[in-house]
Amino acid sequence: MSGVLLADRYMSPMTDSDLDEVAAIEKLAYEFPWSRGNFGDSLRNGYFGVCLRHVTGALIGYCVLMPVVDEMHLLNLCVTPTAQGAGAGLALLREAVRITHAEKLDGLLLEVRPSNHRAIRLYERFGFATIGRRKNYYPARHRAREDAIVMRLSFATEGADGAA
């Protein structure tokens, strides 16, 4: 087992050997999932991929981070539906902040669907602030597109849950 041990689960860098599992969870969790190729391209482009696994080896969740100039962009954070609500998303978010700090970047930026109330609550609790909106950003089933709420965590104003 490699990575950082967290009680009954551990974090490790995402590799090509994780991509089939990652893509399978992505399809379970999202109506408009990233493809296996999207994840592979992210790794080949030098983005940070993180896997959260149970000590049994089962994949619980993952995230993908892209450094951009002076901040990190959280491109994807996903927890398998059967493990949602048990702190895995918070653990991944803390790891994203740890990596961002380690890279000496000023903050963490993300987009989230306005309809994803659970994620928005997590990000707000963590200290993210809404800084804008991207019109027609996401594909949507019952309308042409869905906006994205743009949120940012600035380390100067980081919330208590976001302390590294």
- Of 21, 111, 137, 138, which is the active-site residue? 111
Using DSSP's 3-state secondary structure scheme, residue 25 falls into helix
Contacting residues for 55 by C-beta, under 8 A, at least 6 apart: 1, 8, 9, 10
- Of 123, 137, 138, 146, which is the active-site residue? 123
Sheet holding 71-79, edge to edge: 4-6, 9-13, 48-54, 59-68, 71-79, 107-112, 145-154, 129-139
Using DSSP's 3-state secondary structure scheme, residue 46 falls into coil
Nearest to 66 by CA among 57, 75, 54: 75
Tokens 């974090």 — which residue?
Answer: 11
Residue 123 a catalytic site member: yes
- What residues act catalytically? 111, 123
